[in-house]
Amino acid sequence: MLIGSSIIQCSVTYDKKAIVVNGHRRILLSGSIHYPRSTPEMWEDLIKKAKDGGLDVIDTYVFWNGHEPSPGIYNFEGRYDLVRFIKTVQEVGLYVHLRIGPYVCAEWNFGGFPVWLKYVPGISFRTDNGPFKDAMQGFTHKIVQMMKDHQFFASQGGPIILSQIENEFGPILKGSSDHSYVNWAAKMAVGLNTGVPWVMCKEDDAPDPIINTCNGFYCDYFTPNKPYKPTMWTEAWTGWFTLFGGTIRKRPVEDLAFGVTRFIQNGGSYINYYMYHGGTNFGRTAGGPFITTSYDYDAPIDEYGLVQEPKYSHLKQLHQAIKQCESALVSSDATVTKLGRYGEAHVFSAGKGSCAAFLSNYHMNAPAKVVFNKRQYTLPAWSTSILPDCENVVYNTATVVSKTSNVEMVPSGSVVYSVARYDEDIATYGDRGTITALGLLDQINVTRDTNDYLWYITSVDIKESESFLRGGKLPTLTVDSAGHAVHVFVNGHFYGSAFGTRENRKVSFSAPVNLRGGANRVALLSVAVGLPNDGPHFETWATGVVGSVALHGLDEGNKDLSRQKWTYQVGLRGEALNLISPTEASSVDWIKGSLAKQNKQPFTWYKAYFDSPSGNEPLALDLESMGKGQAWINGESLGRYWTAIAKGNCGSCNYAGPYRQANCQSGCGEPTQRWYHVPRSWLKPRGNLLVLFEELGGDISKVSVVKRSSVH
């Protein structure tokens, strides 16, 4: 803290009850806001809203692959300006929990690992492995040093009160016995002498002095691994993430608040909402496969930075009620008494007659009338009432008084003009590909994930004597890919596409194809839709056409093409021409006028302009009329788009009862993601360049810029 001109150092320790700041046990309320998921221009407003919502701490992961895109080449600019983000939190007056990882999961590409790390000789991720440990230590050290250089640790007078090393290694550990890696990671982190505590989440055997913490929809069952550590919940999931083709998952705030009170009444003293603001997976940062560009997460602050009601205010009121109980909560363990069959009272006292009570009803359908301290209370089903003086109810988790936001995407008045089209070269592109190999190569081995697209091209000789050439049944081409999508072309003709899912990344394509006598060109455009971020050794999972490619039904039977010569071309022609760049976009012959908008042709680049809409409401691109691809504005990537229709189970949503991701789905039968956040700070008043690459076919004339309006 900076008071006057002197830096006041702050001590952060812990005991069995709580994190202890400057000698005071604290009930700390925290929220995750990941800095690269919004723009620096949005940060201050988001953090102020978090403070106003009653939070004490902002929690963020550190995103290694964003900071070190190539070995030794660092990026701490723009959305990756970590120092500016932490400074902003400090200026607003909140603390920071810095979850360095550097494995972060987070539905982030490759779980935050740079893809080049996979190619360090002899490496094995997240194990007791020399090359991995060297790299992990190097990055962790760099971040800690950077924070120290800015006096950012609380021990130096800065806002960082906690740091995390690793992330949910426990579930991985179960399958191995890699305690030595955990012990090494703990020792390495502690050895960095930050002067503030370290945590490991979901890591039951986190060695002292590291605090093991809980992540989940509920954590009231959780106790840390030593009696002298505080009970901390590092991820209280406020909603859930979204997959292209999946539904939107919402978590009712009544249940979230009930989860929080249950945790607190059982002795919990630190809660972090994951996410408090989810934001946007700009560019190719989404993990995967198939994580959407929106990372809204049903969080209290929505993707666009607007408060989402009633979630935001209902939690704010909860925070106020909890803070009224703080001194009692940190001073004593609860005395628990039964209140009828489904009820419980947890009573805390701070001495001198001070008393706080949490009265809970665990029944999923029925309210309970209970007597506590000779008074009658009615508790709605599945709820807790908070009585900071053991007498008056100031809050009940199931009683929502805030209004619900009425969110609409409204026309902005800004039209998209000067539409032009450029057809991606699918007939000959890749013929002079840079790599030739016998057999099928893993996509990421070739692209190093610099790009979503990889062409696999080969030639097949067909004998003039084949009977299908004289009216017989056409042969069938089959393609097995490890994922995530593939578009199939023969002799420049498009035969169709196949897509995997997150659960089953494998893709199979099969269709009759029209071949000619002599040489035929088979070209497969393989598409990665975000690299996996989760699962044991996900870095070893294959991507691309590594299965079999074969022709069936020839006179000789089947012809396996998998082992023959293939040519590889990374990326699209339009990318090589840098069509997304405002300076390069005019370097090719675009098709203009009405022809540009004609027919829903796949594999097409579109370029158009729009003026910045007036006002300051957040903006989005409405891409409902498009299929699948990527979008750029003034050279900045909005992310992947895909209007795949959401399939799921959109039944009713009841707040009561244990919440699971499948409980409250919405959006069935509509595109999973229709709107794509356009940060205002990317725009200039006139002539903003919009570029789309469309894989499936869309109608550019219906694309528009809309404003997000939220009234409550």
Question: Contact positions toward ligand GAL, by CB under 6 A?
Answer: 104-107, 167-168, 215, 235, 241
**DSSP 8-state class, residue 474:** P
Cβ 182 to ligand GAL shortest distance, Å: 16
Strand order in the sheet with 476-481: 507-512, 476-481, 549-554, 557-560
Bond from prior residue into 209 cis (ω within 30 degrees of 0): yes
Cβ 106 to ligand GAL shortest distance, Å: 4
Cβ 158 to ligand GAL shortest distance, Å: 25
CA-CA distance, 504 to 16, in Å (whole number)?
A: 44
Residue 328 and residue 344 in contact, taking contact as beta carbons nearer than 8 Å: no
Catalytic (active site) residue 168: yes
The residue type found at 489 is F
Residue 33 in tokens: 């806001």
Q: Which is nearer to ligand GAL, 174 or 702 (CB)?
A: 174
Q: Which is nearer to ligand GAL, 233 or 377 (CB)?
A: 233
Helix or strand run (H / E) with residue 86: helix 82-92
Q: Which is nearer to ligand GAL, 447 or 533 (CB)?
A: 533
Cβ 585 to ligand GAL shortest distance, Å: 36
CA-CA distance, 231 to 271, in Å (whole number)?
A: 9
CA-CA distance, 697 to 687, in Å (whole number)?
A: 25
Other beta carbons within 10 Å of 375: 12
Q: Which is nearer to ligand GAL, 291 or 322 (CB)?
A: 291
Q: How far is CA 269 from the centre of its chain?
A: 26
The CA–CA distances, whole Å, from 43 to 85, 178, 276 equal 7, 39, 13
List the catalytic residue out of 68, 107, 166, 235: 235
Burial 340-363 (b: 16+ CB within 10 A, else e): eebbbbbbbbbeeebbbbbbbbbb
CA-CA distance, 217 to 239, in Å (whole number)?
A: 9
- Per-residue DSSP letters for 303-318? TTS-B-TTHHHHHHHH
Among residues 574, 69, 36, which one has the least CA distance to residue 279? 36
Q: Which is nearer to ligand GAL, 96 or 656 (CB)?
A: 96
Cβ 168 to ligand GAL shortest distance, Å: 5
Cβ 114 to ligand GAL shortest distance, Å: 17
Q: Which is nearer to ligand GAL, 272 or 383 (CB)?
A: 272
Length of the chain: 712
Q: Which is nearer to ligand GAL, 459 or 661 (CB)?
A: 661
Cβ 534 to ligand GAL shortest distance, Å: 6
Q: Within 332-420, where are the H helices?
A: none
The CA–CA distances, whole Å, from 487 to 252, 457, 493, 696 equal 40, 12, 11, 9
Residue nearest to ligand GAL (CB): 105
Q: Which is nearer to ligand GAL, 108 or 377 (CB)?
A: 108
CA-CA distance, 355 to 471, in Å (whole number)?
A: 90
Among residues 672, 659, 712, which one has the least CA distance to residue 253? 659
Q: Which is nearer to ligand GAL, 288 or 648 (CB)?
A: 288
Q: How far is CA 578 from the centre of its chain?
A: 28
Q: Which is nearer to ligand GAL, 153 or 282 (CB)?
A: 282
Beta bridge partners of 28: 270
Cβ 330 to ligand GAL shortest distance, Å: 27
Cβ 175 to ligand GAL shortest distance, Å: 16
Cβ 291 to ligand GAL shortest distance, Å: 10
List the catalytic residue out of 168, 303, 326, 694: 168
Burial class (CB in 10 A: 0-12, 13-18, 19+), 147: buried
Catalytic (active site) residue 68: no
**Known catalytic residues?**
168, 235
